[in-house]
């Protein structure tokens, strides 16, 4: 090999982060689930209460959804074996798009094979060289990928901070032609809700379009789970709404919805849509059934919020810093990565499955135990999780320690904004 050359794989041989955690017995990733009911899983032969899933409405095991998937396999087989653009387009895809558009109150919807592709495809297609994206700092990785592929500039504003967004708009808006403000409706890690009415106000004032990623809001916010726009009553001011079926809608896939001309343009230009195989029949049929259930069976949304409120009150009551989350995603701020991994392990051993979140998903030094709740959790399972969380919180010195609790408040204020700290 020439002197100036190197091995492209050299970094892989020297990267030790995962190995070090494995050796310390703290590696928290890729736990193998042997069976699941949705709200409880079996790992290593033992049942564990699942408080780390995005199955908010608990529909993964709904009999109607399972039946719809089976029926679709019988009619269409197990895969589409091609892109919708050419040979993989099913009547089921169209039915799902029509149903979604009606549910979301938009002219048209377009279904992608993942939510990641939906963000990547839509943003990279719409934003040209002379355009700009104003993007929340805590936006999901798929939005970041979309902004990287887009030809225009991306300017980031402080998380959910409308003063910072306006400051940047004042400084930069005149340099660009088109502008898109992009943010999660419900932020996936901290669980807070975008200040959408203020975003809409700024968009009108500075002539921007609004794009909301409702991955964690679909099925959760709004009278029938239609999302963040419906929650605030400003759905008509959201130009494009993106979402995923990999959470409340219990499957896989994603969508973009908005005015017909915009959706049609994306449909004929977005490469992750055109050059990737279509959403499989069973998944499409499952999602279509989830969409019907969301509108016909309000009890799931009611149970979700009953469970989320119970957990939020109990956890903040114990003294956890939950970043003042107002949704079924309830993070527990811990701070240190290794302590968060040790806490994950202790929870797991005690029969509770929750997920640690470390940088870059959150700012460095702000590691979280991300907990999230479902319509299908039983009161017994939630009470059990609370007992374990209290006992371990005390054992780890996270609870019952005023100095530590003040430090967590300070961390929340500095890194997640003033909205992250509950009023005293």
Ligand X SMILES: Cc1ncc(COP(=O)(O)O)c(C=O)c1O
DSSP code at position 332: E
Q: Does 184 bind ligand X (CB under 6 A)?
A: yes
- Yes or no: say if 236 and 107 are a contact pair by the CB < 8 Å rule: no
**Given strand 355-357, what is the order of strands in its sheet?**
329-335, 367-372, 355-357
Distance CA 225, CA 87 (A): 33
Could you identify the residue written with the tokens 């003033």? 418
Give the shortest CB-185-to-ligand X separation in angstroms. 8
Q: Does 244 bind ligand X (CB under 6 A)?
A: yes
Residues assigned a catalytic role:
188, 216, 247
Could you identify the residue written with the tokens 């590691």? 367
Neighbouring CB atoms inside 10 A of 177's CB total: 11
In terms of CB distance, is 300 or 370 closer to ligand X?
370
Give the shortest CB-17-to-ligand X separation in angstroms. 22
Beta-sheet strands, E only, within 117-221: 132-136, 153-157, 179-184, 209-213
Distance CA 190, CA 326 (A): 10
Residues with Cβ within 8 Å of 71's Cβ and at least 6 positions away in sequence, in order, are: 285
- Yes or no: say if 62 and 250 are a contact pair by the CB < 8 Å rule: yes
Q: Does 136 bind ligand X (CB under 6 A)?
A: no
In terms of CB distance, is 114 or 125 closer to ligand X?
114
Could you identify the residue written with the tokens 């290593």? 44
Q: Which region, judged by CB under 6 A, interacts with ligand X, from 108-116, 125-133, 147-155, 370-378? A: 108-116
Q: Compute the Cα dihedral for 323, 327, 332, 337 and give only its sign.
A: negative
User: Residue 328: which of 211, 421, 218, 245 has the closest Cα?
Assistant: 218
Residue whose C-beta lies closest to ligand X: 115
Q: Does 340 bind ligand X (CB under 6 A)?
A: no
Q: Does 159 bind ligand X (CB under 6 A)?
A: no
Candidates 53, 55, 114, 321; binder of ligand X (CB under 6 A) is: 114
Q: Does 142 bind ligand X (CB under 6 A)?
A: yes
Distance CA 224, CA 298 (A): 7
Q: Does 115 bind ligand X (CB under 6 A)?
A: yes
Q: Does 246 bind ligand X (CB under 6 A)?
A: yes
In terms of CB distance, is 188 or 321 closer to ligand X?
188
Give the shortest CB-246-to-ligand X separation in angstroms. 4
Give the shortest CB-187-to-ligand X separation in angstroms. 8
In terms of CB distance, is 241 or 293 closer to ligand X?
241
In terms of CB distance, is 281 or 393 closer to ligand X?
281
In terms of CB distance, is 26 or 278 closer to ligand X?
278
User: Residue 361: which of 219, 218, 184, 212 has the closest Cα?
Assistant: 184
Q: Does 135 bind ligand X (CB under 6 A)?
A: no
Candidates 56, 103, 116, 273; binder of ligand X (CB under 6 A) is: 116
Q: Does 254 bind ligand X (CB under 6 A)?
A: yes
Give the shortest CB-405-to-ligand X separation in angstroms. 29
Alpha carbon distance, N-terminus to C-terminus of the chain: 64
Give the shortest CB-312-to-ligand X separation in angstroms. 20
Q: Does 219 bind ligand X (CB under 6 A)?
A: no
Contacts with ligand X, residue ranges (CB under 6 A): 114-116, 119, 140, 142, 184, 188, 213, 215-216, 244, 246, 254
């Amino acid at each position: 090999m020439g002197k100036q050359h190197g091995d492209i794989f050299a970094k892989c041989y020297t990267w030790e982060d995962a190995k070090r955690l494995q050796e310390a017995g703290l590696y928290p990733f890729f736990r193998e689930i042997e069976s699941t009911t949705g709200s409880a899983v079996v790992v290593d032969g033992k049942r564990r209460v699942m408080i780390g899933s995005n199955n908010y409405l608990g529909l993964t095991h709904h009999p109607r959804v399972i039946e719809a998937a089976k029926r679709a396999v019988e009619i269409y087989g197990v895969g589409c074996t091609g892109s919708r653009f050419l040979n993989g387009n099913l009547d089921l895809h169209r039915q799902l798009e029509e149903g979604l558009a009606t549910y979301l109150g938009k002219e048209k919807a377009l279904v992608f094979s993942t939510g990641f592709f939906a963000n990547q495809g839509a943003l990279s297609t719409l934003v040209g060289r002379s355009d700009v994206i104003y993007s929340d700092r805590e936006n999901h990785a798929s939005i970041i990928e979309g902004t990287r592929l887009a030809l225009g500039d991306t300017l980031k504003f402080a998380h959910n901070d409308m003063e910072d967004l306006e400051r940047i708009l004042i400084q930069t808006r005149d340099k660009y032609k088109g502008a898109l403000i992009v943010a999660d409706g419900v932020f996936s890690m901290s669980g807070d809700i975008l200040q959408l009415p203020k975003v809409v106000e700024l968009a009108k004032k500075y002539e921007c379009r609004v794009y909301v990623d409702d991955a964690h809001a679909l099925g959760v916010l709004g009278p029938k789970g239609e999302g963040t726009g419906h929650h605030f009553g400003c759905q008509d001011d959201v130009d494009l709404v993106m979402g995923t079926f990999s959470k409340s809608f219990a499957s896989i896939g994603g969508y973009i919805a908005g005015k017909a001309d915009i959706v049609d343009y994306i449909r004929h230009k977005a490469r992750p849509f055109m050059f990737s195989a279509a959403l499989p029949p069973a998944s499409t049929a499952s999602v279509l059934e989830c969409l019907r259930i969301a509108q016909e069976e309000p009890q799931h949304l009611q149970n979700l919020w009953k469970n989320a409120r119970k957990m939020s009150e109990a956890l903040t009551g114990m003294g956890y810093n939950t970043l003042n989350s107002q949704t079924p995603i309830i993070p527990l701020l811990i701070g240190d990565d290794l302590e968060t991994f040790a806490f994950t392990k202790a929870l797991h051993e005690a029969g509770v499955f929750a997920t640690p979140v470390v940088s870059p998903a959150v700012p460095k030094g702000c590691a979280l135990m991300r907990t999230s709740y479902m319509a299908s959790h039983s009161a017994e399972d939630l009470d059990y999780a609370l007992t374990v969380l209290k006992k371990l919180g005390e054992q780890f010195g996270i609870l019952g320690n005023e100095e530590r609790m003040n430090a967590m408040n300070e961390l929340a204020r500095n890194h997640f904004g003033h909205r992250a700290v509950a009023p005293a």
